[in-house]
């Protein structure tokens, strides 16, 4: 299976971040809804004990979700072991072409070289050289 390109990884990361934000927003909305329901139940005087426990659970879950979202992992600083360690790390990030891609594009390059070689040969030997000979013979 081929490795994903940098663009594909960036898009996937953005989608994960968007999903995470949606989950956090849904948790906040659910927490607000549960607090509103709990306050309305308290006004009625029904199920006071159960509404408090559900309210405590929802607020605890909302606070845990908020604390997890606010904690960000620190960015990895590149190790300063040396030049070659940095080169090695960068080479691991490279998206390498498959063998089939290399062969295909090598064929395209060789074909283009042959085409332009023949083009220049024809242009030089059959068009430019006779034209220069004709022009030089006019002056003599």
* Contact between 1 and 98 (Cβ < 8 Å): no
**Mean pLDDT, rounded, for 6-13:** 87
pLDDT at 125: 93
Question: What is the rounded average pLDDT of the residues 126-135?
Answer: 91
Structural domain spans, the chain: 1-71, 98-140
Alpha-carbon distance of 93 to 34, in angstroms, equals: 46
- DSSP letter (8 states) at residue 96: P
Output 3 or 70, whichever has higher pLDDT: 3
User: Cα(126)–Cα(96) distance, rounded to whole angstroms?
Assistant: 44
**Residue pLDDT, tens place only, 84-113:** 999 999 999 999 999 999 999 999 999 999
Integer angstrom CA distances of residue 61 from 1, 33, 65, 67, 118? 39, 13, 6, 10, 74
| pLDDT given at position 72 | 54
Burial class (CB in 10 A: 0-12, 13-18, 19+), 66: middle
43-88 tens-digit pLDDT? 555 555 554 555 556 666 666 665 555 555 555 655 567 899 999 9
């Amino acid at each position: 299976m081929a490795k994903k390109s940098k663009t594909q990884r960036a898009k996937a990361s953005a989608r994960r971040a968007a999903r995470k934000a949606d989950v956090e927003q849904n948790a906040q909305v659910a927490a607000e809804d549960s607090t509103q329901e709990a306050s309305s139940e308290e006004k009625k005087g029904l199920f006071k004990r159960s509404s408090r426990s559900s309210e405590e659970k929802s607020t605890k879950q909302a606070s845990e979700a908020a604390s997890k979202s606010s904690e960000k992992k620190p960015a990895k600083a590149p190790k300063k072991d040396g030049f070659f360690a940095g080169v090695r790390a960068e080479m691991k990030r490279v998206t390498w072409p498959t063998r089939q891609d290399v062969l295909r594009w090598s064929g395209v390059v060789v074909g283009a070289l042959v085409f332009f070689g023949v083009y220049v040969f024809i242009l030089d030997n059959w068009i430019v050289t006779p034209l220069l000979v004709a022009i030089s013979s006019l002056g003599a």
